[in-house]
C-alpha cells in the first residue's frame, strides 16, 4: 500500500487546514521544497500536493514549486487544487506530475471528466470530498445535494485511474479516517481508492493495509504535529 505524505501549499508555505477551513490553518516553518526533500530523504516514493491558492481561484498558482519538487526529487506526485480545464492538466503533466486530481470541475461537468480521462489516459484521479456522505465543491466552501456514491456510479466507467476519498469532517482532526464510508466507496469504485482525512496514528495505516481495493493513504497533520514519526511510517510504505 502506498503512503502519500501531504504538502498543502498556501502563499508558498506548507500549511494544514482543519476541515478545509482557510480561517483555521496552521503554517509551518519549512518550505514545500524542503518538506519534499525531507520526505524523499526518508525514502518515500509518493507525494500528495494540494495547491490551496489554486483551489481558491481556479488557476495553477504554484506550478513552479511543483515543477521543482518533481524535477529535483523524482517523486511520484499527485496534485489537486483548482484544476478546472485541459490547459491546467496539460501544464502539470508537462512538468512530470503522475496524477492530476479533478474535483469540483468534474462534479459540475461530468463530460469534462470523461474527456479528460480520454485525453490524458491514466493521468486523471478523481477527488471526492464528502461531508455526511454528500459531495462538497470549490475548496469545500460549497455543499452539493449529491451523494458521493450516486455520483461515482454515474462516472464509474469513464476511465478514472485513481479515486481519492476525503471525509471532510475528519480532515485535520486526527480522529482516524472514516473507514466505513471509504469502504463503501471502494466496493463501488472501478479504480483503486486512496484514503484521505483524519489519520492519527500508525494503527490507522495498519488498518488501511488490510482493506480491499485501497491503493494508499494520505497522511498530513499527524506528520507535521509529530504524532507519526517518518521512520515508522516509511516502513509501512510498499
Query: Which residues are marked as active site?
Result: 8, 129
Residues 6+ away with beta carbon under 8 Å from 214:
1, 182, 186, 192, 193, 194, 195, 208
All domains of the chain in start order, with CATH: 2-235 (3.20.20.70)
Chain segment 40-95, per-residue pLDDT in tens = 999 999 999 999 999 888 889 999 999 999 999 999 999 999 899 999 999 999 99
C-alpha cell at 170: 475528519
Identify the CA nearest to 83 among candidates 139, 41, 150.
139
pLDDT at 19: 76
Chain segment 2-34, per-residue pLDDT in tens = 999 999 999 999 998 887 778 888 999 899 999
pTM, 2 dp:
0.94
The strand pair at 193-196 and 214-219 is best described as parallel
Amino acid at each position: 500500500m502506498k503512503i502519500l505524505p501531504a504538502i498543502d501549499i498556501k502563499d508558498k508555505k506548507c500549511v494544514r487546514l482543519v476541515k478545509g477551513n482557510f480561517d483555521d490553518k496552521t503554517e509551518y516553518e519549512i518550505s514545500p521544497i524542503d518538506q519534499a526533500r525531507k520526505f524523499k530523504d526518508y525514502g518515500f516514493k509518493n507525494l500528495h500536493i494540494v495547491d490551496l491558492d489554486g483551489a481558491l481561484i481556479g488557476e495553477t498558482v504554484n506550478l513552479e514549486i511543483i515543477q521543482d519538487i518533481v524535477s529535483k526529487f523524482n517523486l511520484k506526485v499527485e496534485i489537486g487544487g483548482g484544476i478546472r480545464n485541459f490547459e491546467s492538466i496539460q501544464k502539470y503533466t508537462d512538468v512530470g506530475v503522475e496524477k492530476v486530481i479533478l474535483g469540483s470541475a468534474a462534479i459540475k461537468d461530468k463530460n469534462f471528466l470523461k474527456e479528460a480521462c480520454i485525453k490524458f489516459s491514466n493521468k486523471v484521479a478523481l477527488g471526492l470530498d464528502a461531508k455526511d456522505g454528500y459531495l462538497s465543491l470549490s475548496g469545500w466552501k460549497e455543499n452539493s445535494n449529491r451523494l458521493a456514491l450516486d455520483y461515482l456510479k454515474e462516472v464509474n466507467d469513464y476511465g478514472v485511474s485513481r479515486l481519492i476519498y476525503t471525509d471532510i469532517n475528519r480532515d485535520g482532526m486526527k480522529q482516524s479516517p472514516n473507514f466505513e464510508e471509504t469502504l463503501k466507496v471502494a466496493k463501488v469504485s472501478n479504480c483503486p481508492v486512496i484514503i484521505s482525512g483524519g489519520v492519527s496514528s500508525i494503527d490507522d495505516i495498519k488498518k488501511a493495509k488490510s482493506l480491499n481495493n485501497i491503493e494508499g493513504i494520505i497522511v498530513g497533520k499527524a506528520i507535521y504535529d509529530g504524532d507519526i514519526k517518518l521512520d515508522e511510517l516509511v516502513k509501512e510504505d510498499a
